[in-house]
Structures are given as C-alpha cells and as structure tokens.
Structure 1
Amino acid sequence: MPDNPFKAAILALIKAAPAGLSEYDLIQCLQELDQAFAFDDVDPDLALFRRHFLVMNALYQLQTELFDRGMYLTVSPLDIRLEPVEHAGLSSLPADNATAPLREYYLNWEFFRQTGHADVENMLNRFRLRYLAIDERLEALRTLELPADAPWETVRQAYRRLAAQHHPDKGGDPARFRAIRGAYECLMRCYPA
C-alpha cells in the first residue's frame, strides 16, 4: 500500500491536539500547512472528495501503525484522537464493526485514482437524497405526533386514531386529514416490510 504523503503532518496535528479534533479542523490545518492539499486546479466537489479521502486514508494507515505501538487512534468525523490502547479497552483493532467497510474503502488507493467529477456528483446526490428522506420521515412522524424512534405498530395505531379523529365525514378538517394520510404513506415507504 502506498504511503500517504500527508500522514506525517496529520500525525503531528493529532499529537498537538490531545483533546481530539474534527476532520474539518484537520483539513483546515492541512490546507494552511501545505498548498498541495488545496487541489485548487480541480472542481470544488472533487477537491473536497480528494482532501477527505487523503485524510481518511492517512488516519486508517496511522491507526494500524500506531496500534502496533500501543496507541489507539479513534477515527470519527467529529472526534479524531490518540490514546493508549489500554484506555480504549481494545485488545485488537476492530475488524467486524460498522467502520470496517469504510476502512477498507479508504485504504484502497484505486478509489482515489478512479473517482472523477461525475462519481463525486453521484455520491453527493445519493447523500442528499438519503438525508432528505430522513427529514421527510421525521416530519411525517411529527405530523402523527410520534417520537423519532416510534415502532411501526405505534405508527399504525397513531394513524388510525388521528385519521378517525380528523376524517371529513366525521366533521374533521380535510387539510389535516390529507396531511395525516400523506405522513402515513411516507412512513409506509420508510419502514422495512
């Protein structure tokens, strides 16, 4: 695996921030330290992808190297920190958790080399759609007067209760009834079958 050209600078920044730092802070510091990290010659979204990829690649390379030296590097967008392995309570690097696929992705230089503007645009669009769907789900739950973690059976019960209460045939407000029905239809798409 090729060595990341920013790994030494990233490690120095992490060591200088014992309380930890975010990926955003790390990227800002790197841009101030090294003009090559800016990628001013490419599309802004592609430049963002490249900066992000280089940081994550370096972090995962460092995580492996540092673990062998008794230190654990926490890799999270909002919390990048270095601590002794015994404080982290680990006997080995986590291999089967949710971050394993991310780790594999960012350690593969082919993704950095092969990802172009159209690929980044597709990734950003998928990201935006996923979070738009989350917003719609939360709004639908609010319409049904439910918390964000309501199970499907509770959603069905709330819909039935509110639909009966606000049905126009029973003197309810047609606009409120349509909102309740729309929220329920949205949630039918969001919950697993």
Structure 2
Amino acid sequence: MPNNAAESTAHRAIPELVSVLEVALEQILRSHPAGLSEHALLKILQAPDWNILEPINFREPAALYPVHFLVFHALYRLRTTLISEGGETLHINALNIILRPGAPPSGTSLPDHGDDPLAEFYLDLHNLRLESNVIESMLDDFWQGIQRPSDDALKQACDDLELDWPPQDARAANLQFRRLAMLHHPDRGGKPGRLQSINHAIAVVRRHLRHAG
C-alpha cells in the first residue's frame, strides 16, 4: 500500500495527467472520424507521437485497469466539455469511441449526472487507485516527448487556424479550433485534408502556449 506522502503526490499529479489525456484524446479522435476501439486508442497513446502511456500488459488486469480507468475518466470529462459547449458529442464504449457533430437528443443528461451509471463511475476518481510513481512516469514520458514548436511551424499553425501570430490566448485558440473543426468535418461536407491540418495546427499552438506559460 502507498504511504500518505505517495498518495498525496499522486492526488496532485492526477489532474495534470487527466488534462494531458484530454488534449491527446480529442486530437486523436478528430484524426480518426470513424472512431477507435479502446485497444487501438491505448496503442496510439503509447506510440512515439504521443508518448503518454508506457507499455501495457493487456493480459494482466491489475496492470491494465488503472490505465483503462484513467483514459475513460478523461473521455467522460471530454464528453462533458463537448456537450456543454454545444455542437458535438462523444459516444463511448470499449468497441468504438467516436466523436460526432451534433449535441445529444433533447432531454439527454450530461455524463456526470447520476442517471448515467457508467459516467458516474468513471468520473469519480475514488474508483481509481494509481500509485504516484506510475503517474509521475507517465507525465515525464509525455513532456519529454513534446518540444516547443519552431517559429515557422507556429506561424503556419496560426495561418491554418486563422489566428493572429503569435497566439496569446488558449481559450480563443480552442474556440476557433472547435469552430473550424465543425465547419470542415467530413460528416458536414468538409475535406479530410483540411480537418487534418486544423488538428495538427491546434496541437502546435497548444504546445507553444504550454511552453510560453
């Protein structure tokens, strides 16, 4: 069992790791409009492009569960954000996790309401037990794999997002990204290449703002 100091460290690190996962999950799902299985999503999160998750033994439930829980916690948080902002929703199950334009049908509850037992379970971090050294290792691997973008890359990203250079406001950048992603989504007649450039651009801008902060 972890001691109190380790538990405290883990408690402080979890929000940062969840934020990292939310950013990564949104970008990955926007790049895969047909959706992904949980297994495929975990594989992508382990790949060098993201470098968030360490190798997972998929045959060992004790090792897989904490990672599964943390990813689904971030997915349900992302779904809550998308619904609250309007225009998009996220369908979540282990076989297909897919981002779709359009809010849920009228009367559908937000995923943190008590009438959605799965959301209620995954949004409660008391259901997670992840040791501090695991969380810190995941964070270290992620940040080491992300470098500050060059000025040329940042300028191109701002052009793609139709933002002033250099970008100063994360909220304005995110709102513009969501507007353009909805406008150019293939489900709404957009071109996949344009959506991919928008997805890449927001990742560059967010990386710049994170380093600038």
TM-score (norm 1): 0.49
Q: Which has the higher contact order (CA 8 A, sep 6+)?
A: 2
